[in-house]
Structure 1
Amino acid sequence: MRYRLDLGYLGTNYHGWQRQPNAHTVQAEVENALCTLLRCPVDLVGAGRTDTGVHALGYAAHFDYNGAIDSPAKFCHALNGILPGSIAIHSLTEVDGDFHARFSATSRQYIYLISREKNPFLAPLAYQYTAALDFAKLEASACLLEETSDFASFCKAGSDQGTTICRVTTARWTQEGGVWKFSITADRFLRNMVRALVGSMLQVSCGHWSLARFKQAIDAQDRSLAGPSAEPQGLFLASIGYPHPYPSTTPYPALPTGIQP
């Protein structure tokens, strides 16, 4: 039988989602907890990678188990009791065998948070950028992304992505008090893409680049001409969309104001 896990995690102390030798990862933590409860090895398949220090609000994974889990709510409660406080299981549901946490996904939403003042309580969750910025320029930069199809300039060098074409459906900046938030939804994302986009838009906002220069960086399809990647702690994988009858993931409900997507 195949089961889907929905979860969220604080990525500060992890080397990303994907299991790696000699590295502390979210996938390894959850697999170990599942193995303890189910008393057998578990191969957990996640919706995709997240980089070191990056967080997830609404993440999905699946695993196969030759048995029935009679009470998903009790199972989740027990699983949360084993896992560290930085990982929270939202739900467990039985799904058809053709469901795939990664390949069945039709969209993903990321958010990036910038704290405009020094705030020790937001430090693990937002990039603390207190230099002068122009919010209107950020908004204008984001508008260009919905008109873009090839994001090669914002893909980590050396990545084997197959294609650099992504269909962005929404890209916008909002302000909520001292937190500025960038939200972007697309059918797929390239490795390091969101952080590279934010870093490039900050070049426009602080006056180092014109909007035309940002457009040139997009059109060049050359990573060396785009801006530096923004810091990882401000990035969240917010939600993942799936086709009917599977619901999209939903963010963990108890979040500080300004972090909800």
Structure 2
Amino acid sequence: MRCALTIAYNGTHFLGSQIQSEATNTIFGNIEKVLLQLGIDFRVVASGRTDKGVHATGQVCHIDLPEFWNDLEKLKRVLNEMLPHAITVKKIKQVDDEFHARYSAKRRVYRYIIKEGDSNPFEHEFISFFRHVDLDKIQKNIKLFVGEHDFKEFMKTGSDTGSTIRVIYRAFAYKYKDVIVLNFEANGFLRSQIRLMVGALLKLNADELKEQLACANNYKIKPAPSNGLYLARINY
């Protein structure tokens, strides 16, 4: 039986989500370890990877269950009892055998959370702090990303990808209480693309951003810190 799991995690103390041969402390490395203890010997397939320090509120993966695991609510409860507290299975549901967590995904939604001012020890794992933030400029310039673009100047060096062209369907920013939320929805993202877009929004003016987006220049912007980034939702 193929099942889709919706997962939330605090990525602060993990070496990213993807299983690595040289590192065991990853999100899906921990999940597979627990699954194996429950007699489920299956490589977890995720909608995509998140880097070290990046969080998720709606990551999706799929697994194939052996016949003796037919009580999905019990499996969810047992997984949450055995997994590290920083990882939570929010939902498990049966899906068609053709469902694929990565290739069946239509859109991916990420959010980046910013707060103006000095960092504090109670929020620094979950929010990126900046001394000065021009919300009006961000709200205007973030719209430049909407549409189909070649994002080769907005990806981390060494990214393994067949194409650097992506379609961004929505991109907007808004103030919520004392934080600023940047929302990006696309058919997919390159490695560190969102963090580099956020870094550009914070540092570049509109003309500079247009140049980099047109691949006419690269202003060597540092990616925004990983702690403010959340994989929010996968649409199928």
Match of 1:219 in 2: 214
Match of 1:101 in 2: 101
Match of 1:234 in 2: 228
Using the alignment, how far apart are the partners of 1:147 and 1:112 within structure 2?
19
Match of 2:37 in 1: 36
Alpha carbons 1:146, 1:168 under 8 Å: kept: yes
Deviation at 1:64, TM superposition (A): 1.6
Matched, 1:47 2:41: no
Deviation at 1:119, TM superposition (A): 3.0
Match of 1:200 in 2: 200
Distance 1:9 1:212, change over 3 A: same
1:225 is paired with a residue of what secondary structure? coil
Match of 1:120 in 2: 121
Query: Within 5 Å, which residues of 2 pair with 1:140-179?
Result: 140-179=140-179
Deviation at 1:148, TM superposition (A): 4.7
Moved more, 67-76 or 41-50: 67-76
2:185 is paired with a residue of what secondary structure? strand
1:41 is paired with a residue of what secondary structure? coil
Match of 2:133 in 1: 133
Detail structure 1 runs of 4+ shifted over 3 Å in the superposition.
none
Give CA-to-partner distance per residue, 1:8-30, whole Å, 9 cap, x none.
Answer: 10000011111112321000111
Deviation at 1:147, TM superposition (A): 4.1
Distance 1:186 1:221, change over 3 A: farther
Q: Which amino acid is the alignment partner of residue 2 of structure 2?
A: R
Deviation at 1:93, TM superposition (A): 1.3
TM-score by length of 1: 0.85
TM-score by length of 2: 0.94
Matched, 1:86 2:80: no
Alpha carbons 1:6, 1:58 under 8 Å: kept: yes
Alpha carbons 2:110, 2:231 under 8 Å: kept: yes
Give CA-to-partner distance per residue, 1:120-148, whole Å, 9 cap, x none.
Answer: 22110011112x22111111110101145
Matched, 1:66 2:66: yes
Using the alignment, how far apart are the partners of 1:166 and 1:180 within structure 2?
25
Q: Which amino acid is the alignment partner of residue 134 of structure 1?
A: D
Alpha carbons 2:8, 2:89 under 8 Å: kept: yes
Could you list the runs of 5+ residues in structure 2 that have no partner in the other structure?
Answer: none
**More strand, by proportion:** 2
**Aligned pair count?**
234
2:78 is paired with a residue of what secondary structure? helix
Using the alignment, how far apart are the partners of 1:62 and 1:68 within structure 2?
17
Distance 1:65 1:139, change over 3 A: same
Distance 1:119 1:178, change over 3 A: farther
1:62 is paired with a residue of what secondary structure? strand
Q: Which amino acid is the alignment partner of residue 33 of structure 2?
A: N
Alpha carbons 2:12, 2:125 under 8 Å: kept: yes
Using the alignment, how far apart are the partners of 1:18 and 1:69 within structure 2?
25
Give CA-to-partner distance per residue, 1:186-242, whole Å, 9 cap, x none.
Answer: 0111111000000011003xxxxx2111111111266x4352100000000000000
Please tell me the root mean square deviation across aligned C-alpha atoms, in Å.
1.5
Distance 1:202 1:148, change over 3 A: farther
Using the alignment, how far apart are the partners of 2:210 and 2:149 within structure 1?
13
Deviation at 1:69, TM superposition (A): 2.6
